[in-house]
Structure 1
């Protein structure tokens, strides 16, 4: 049926042309933006995933920047330690030369003094962005020897975020510590560093009998580390009027007794073991024990009227630090110089160990930086596969839609002209 009021063909052609125009608009948007999913209405699920992953990638970019700053700080510390090691070798060589008879020790000391000042200059200069790990002050408010840098950012299946970090204990590498009471600096820690006797104190038992005698010696609840130049000594006399014997504890005794290599006494029980070894070496008929609360005591099984134990002359000698070595004095002996050489050699070992630790951290930072960069690229690739437009496909679709649009316009024109043919029926 032919109708002037309803043109079915024109309506169909118009609908088809509208659909073609909408598809053409979508394709042109994809071509202009480069995205197949540019906003939530294009594909809500893909848009949500891509938005979250882009945010995570921004966080990873910040992590990569943090690693870069951390790498620079670590490199600065390593450079300082490496330079300090070379200077310490020079000092060791000068001290070795000073053991030769007939040399002018005053002139050698002048050279040593300049090298000591150079070590301080190296430590003070090893700073990056305000961070100095080689010259510290452990007494400063808020001081924390453990330095951390953000190393990774992750999100688990539940969406919870987690940050990873790389930690560095700078107390093991600090060359100078301005804390005058508990300095841990490698080069100045010998002064005021290990003056604690770790619970060994003077005293005499008050209940002397003809049987056993015991004397309390104080509390030893905290640990202590003896360097090669540190000693703890005290006199012990058993019985009234007897000659006291000198008991000495040094790093070698600690290491051999506890099976360690760094002279570390972990606490009261370990201290009692070391004291027993020292008492045996000194030929003292007494034994040390530690209570669960950390209290130390000496006991003897010696018997006789008026049996007593007397502890006296307790002394904790922290020895000499590299920063205070001076061989110019007339009273300095060959033995003193050899002791100084041991002090410098111990410092070289610690600096070398510190540089080795820093080197391992440098390697880890490099590996992590490479990994984070690769991870960011992988995330970009994954997001791109979800939302990026395939330009080859879109260009082909554009050509097809443009052709369909032209045909749609032509079809609509034909449908509209069909009503004109009805006029010929009424001529």
Structure 2
């Protein structure tokens, strides 16, 4: 039955053409944008995931920039530290040269002075973007942003690489801190007796041939009471002159660590202090000559005297007609403590009038500073390598995220190109079909022609 009110064929053709046009619009949109999912209406779940990951990738791009800034700061500090190490090497060589007999030490001091000025300049110049890890007002933890993290709950955080400037600072302006090239503070709480002027041994009939060395209140009833704690590089030093020959004796953390009586550098009583001093005396090859013992009058005092050949380990007792007191001249002087092992600043010591003991101390001190600077440079080198590795990792992660997002939302251009051609043909056929369906109504007119 044919009807002039309802053209079913045209309606079918129109619906087909509309469907084809919609598919064609979708395909053209994908080809134009390159995305299979370019808005939430296309696929809400994929669009949400892609949007979040793109946002995270933007954040990681900023992290990559922050790593670049951190790498530059570390590189500045490491390069400067390397130059400082070479300068300390040269300084040590100059001190060794100063030990040559009859050499003019004042001339060498002029060279050392220039090197000392160089050390100050190097440290103050190690600045990048306003930050300096080698010359600080106060040490703290510097953090280099290294990663952007999102956990399974959606919470985000930043990962950092920490640099402790207390371990890298060559100079530290804080009152209670010190740099690698600076003299340490006196050991806290170690109220060693301040001997002031030289203390000389005097002997009378029936007396010990000894001098007061240290006094410390381990019982906790007076000033400076309690245990004596040596830090990682803490040290005590004093000079002894025996019958005109001078030696330097040092009790340091390394020595304490070899003793079974002390724990983690802590001296807790008179016996441990006496043992530590005697160990230091042996280190100075004076064990056959000197011995430390408990004070006769002060329970916490330490005295130093001549070792009794007849009773090794005991202080020699002077008895009438046994010895000539003039044969036992002992002077104790230059008693010092330091919390970091440095008894002097690398930038201020002067060798012009230094004796052999001073030169030896300067040489050993510079060598110790050289060791700590080398360690700090090694730490910076490790951080530099880690930052470089993290930069490479972040770049790869960003690429991986881009690929993952692409798998979700990118259009398959080969497939869309093929579909476009097919849909264009379907569109043309749909238009032709609709034209034919509309033409069928015209045939009804022929029924009414005479």
Asked if the contact 1:14–1:408 (Cα under 8 Å) also holds between the matched residues in 2, the reply is: yes
Equivalent-residue separation in structure 2 for 1:259 and 1:55 (angstroms) = 61
Asked if the contact 2:106–2:352 (Cα under 8 Å) also holds between the matched residues in 1, the reply is: yes
The Cα shift of 1:316 comes to 4.5
Any gaps of 5 or more consecutive residues in structure 1? Answer: 139-143, 204-212, 234-246, 284-299
Closer, same or farther in 2 for the Cα pair 1:375/1:226, shift >3 Å?
Answer: closer
* Larger relative helix fraction: 1
Instruction: Report what 1:271 is aligned to.
Output: 266
TM-score w.r.t. the length of structure 2 is: 0.75
Query: Which SS does the other structure have where 2:142 is aligned?
Result: strand
Instruction: Report what 1:4 is aligned to.
Output: 4
Matches within 5 A, 1:236-315: 249-257=251-259, 270-273=265-268, 276-282=271-277, 308-309=298-299, 311=301
Asked if the contact 1:126–1:133 (Cα under 8 Å) also holds between the matched residues in 2, the reply is: yes
Instruction: Report what 2:181 is aligned to.
Output: 187
**What is the RMSD computed on CA atoms of the aligned residues?**
3.1
Asked if the contact 1:174–1:186 (Cα under 8 Å) also holds between the matched residues in 2, the reply is: yes
Instruction: Report what 1:196 is aligned to.
Output: 187
Closer, same or farther in 2 for the Cα pair 1:377/1:219, shift >3 Å?
Answer: farther
Instruction: Report what 2:365 is aligned to.
Output: 343
Closer, same or farther in 2 for the Cα pair 1:276/1:259, shift >3 Å?
Answer: closer
1:413 to 430, 435, 439: 435
Asked if the contact 2:78–2:377 (Cα under 8 Å) also holds between the matched residues in 1, the reply is: yes
Asked if the contact 2:136–2:173 (Cα under 8 Å) also holds between the matched residues in 1, the reply is: yes
Any gaps of 5 or more consecutive residues in structure 2? Answer: 195-216, 239-248, 279-293, 303-332
How many residues align? The count is 369
Instruction: Report what 1:242 is aligned to.
Output: none
TM-score w.r.t. the length of structure 1 is: 0.79
1:147 to 139, 142, 153: 142
Matches within 5 A, 1:168-187: 168-179=163-174, 181-187=175-181
Matches within 5 A, 1:10-409: 10-138=10-138, 144-179=139-174, 181-188=175-182, 190=183, 193-200=184-191, 215-216=219-220, 218=224, 224-225=230-231, 227=233, 230-231=235-236, 249-257=251-259, 270-273=265-268, 276-282=271-277, 308-309=298-299, 311=301, 316-318=336-338, 319-329=343-353, 332-409=354-431
Equivalent-residue separation in structure 1 for 2:382 and 2:218 (angstroms) = 50
Q: Deviations over 1:145-197 (max 9, x none)?
A: 21111111121222122321111111112111123x33421112x1xx23134
Asked if the contact 2:218–2:300 (Cα under 8 Å) also holds between the matched residues in 1, the reply is: no
Query: Which SS does the other structure have where 1:309 is aligned?
Result: coil
Equivalent-residue separation in structure 1 for 2:250 and 2:271 (angstroms) = 11
Equivalent-residue separation in structure 2 for 1:155 and 1:259 (angstroms) = 51
The Cα shift of 1:400 comes to 0.7
